[in-house]
């Protein structure tokens, strides 16, 4: 059986409940911690790299720490060194939006958590920021 639901993050409970239950008191996970985000562009593409980690989410989302690299031409998610994490970028006007995805199993359920952060005038200067998880889906 495959069930897919898209829930606002506040509705996340345990895997067995996530598909059916909505509660305003569910814990909100700590955001992902991005350090040393840089982007460099050539005529071919812009390539970005950064470190990203989660040390203690406060939820069932497992901790991780990895290095990600991607480019702004590839529409698909590009795996980080830890392939549970993947990223892609959407070009704006004088900005880019970095989209981060974390896939993990909890019991029988496969969770996909997504968040994004818009960087204005990206460049070689290193940025640190957090990415707030904004959407979650569970497949049981």
Ligand X SMILES: *[C@@H]1O[C@H](CO)[C@@H](O)[C@H](O)[C@H]1NC(C)=O
Q: Is 90 in the site for ligand X (CB under 6 A)?
A: yes
Q: Is 14 in the site for ligand X (CB under 6 A)?
A: no
Q: Which is nearer to ligand X, 35 or 63 (CB)?
A: 35
The DSSP string of 25-67 is TSPPPPPEEEEEEEEEE-SS-EEEEEEEEES--SSSPPPEEEE
Contact between residue 85 and residue 68 where contact means Cβ atoms under 8 Å apart: yes
Q: Is 69 in the site for ligand X (CB under 6 A)?
A: no
Contact between residue 75 and residue 86 where contact means Cβ atoms under 8 Å apart: no
Sole binder of ligand X in the list 16, 60, 67, 137 (CB under 6 A): 67
Q: Which residues pair with 100 in a beta bridge?
A: 87, 115
Contact between residue 100 and residue 75 where contact means Cβ atoms under 8 Å apart: no
Least gap, CB of 27 to ligand X (angstroms): 16
Q: Which of residues 100-129 bind ligand X (CB under 6 A)?
A: 116, 118, 120
Sole binder of ligand X in the list 4, 21, 35, 63 (CB under 6 A): 35
Contact between residue 67 and residue 49 where contact means Cβ atoms under 8 Å apart: yes
Q: Is 36 in the site for ligand X (CB under 6 A)?
A: yes
Q: Is 134 in the site for ligand X (CB under 6 A)?
A: yes
Least gap, CB of 51 to ligand X (angstroms): 4
Tell me how far apart the alpha carbons of residues 11 and 7 are, in angstroms, rounded to a whole number: 6
Q: Is 60 in the site for ligand X (CB under 6 A)?
A: no
- Residues lying near ligand X in the complex (CB under 6 A) are found at 33, 35-36, 51, 67, 90, 92-93, 95, 97, 99, 116, 118, 120, 130, 134
């Amino acid at each position: 059986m495959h069930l897919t639901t898209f829930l606002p993050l506040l509705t996340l409970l345990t895997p067995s409940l996530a598909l059916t239950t909505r509660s305003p008191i569910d814990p909100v996970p700590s955001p992902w911690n991005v350090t040393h985000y840089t982007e460099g562009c050539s005529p071919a593409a812009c390539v970005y790299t950064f470190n990203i980690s989660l040390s203690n989410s406060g939820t069932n989302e497992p901790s991780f720490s990895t290095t990600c690299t991607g480019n702004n031409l590839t529409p698909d998610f590009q795996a980080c060194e830890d392939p549970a994490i993947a990223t892609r970028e959407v070009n704006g006007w004088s900005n880019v939006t970095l989209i981060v995805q974390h896939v993990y199993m909890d019991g029988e359920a496969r969770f996909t958590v997504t968040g994004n952060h818009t960087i204005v005038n990206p460049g070689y200067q290193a940025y640190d920021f957090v990415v707030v998880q904004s959407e979650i889906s569970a497949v049981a």
